[in-house]
Amino acid sequence: MRYILVALLIVIFGYALALVLQNSAEVEVDLLFTQVPVMRLGLLVLLTLSIGIVVGLLLGVQVFRVFQNSWEIKRLRKEIDYLHKEQIHAAQTAAAEAAANMRHEKTVLDIRSDQNNSTQV
């Protein structure tokens, strides 16, 4: 993977160098805050391309972060719903077990009281 990345960077550098050398016409550039009297056209194109790539990457990172946060919120809501359902199920199971224990205890007490009544008679 590193070799592919290095080769790609060499190709891009070579393309940028060829772009500057092929477009050697000099132009006057008026920037917002300053003015450059003479600049090679190829260098201007390369500079513009670089600024566009940087701005695009920064905007892309921000947009991706928004999507990532949205995905995380959806995942967490699903997890909350799952845990809520699991908690309700656990509470229902505990309530059913408590009711079964109460019935069992009542049955045991009824049997003992019946045995005590029959021995007293």
For the full predicted model, state whether its pTM sits above 0.95: no
Alpha carbon 44 to chain centroid, angstroms: 38
pLDDT of residue 116: 59
Handedness of CA 65, 71, 72, 73 (dihedral sign): positive
pLDDT digits (tens, 9 = 90+) for 11-50: 988 888 888 888 888 888 887 788 888 888 888 888 888 8
Average the pLDDT over 1-13 and give the result.
87
Residue 114 vs residue 8, higher pLDDT: 8
pLDDT digits (tens, 9 = 90+) for 64-85: 888 888 899 999 999 999 999 9
* Distance, CA of 56 to CA of 68 (rounded, Å): 18
Other beta carbons within 10 angstroms of residue 40's beta carbon come to: 17
Could you tell me whether strands 26-30 and 35-40 are parallel, antiparallel, or unpaired per DSSP bridges? Answer: antiparallel
Using an 8 Å Cβ cutoff, are 59 and 45 in contact? no
pLDDT of residue 15: 85
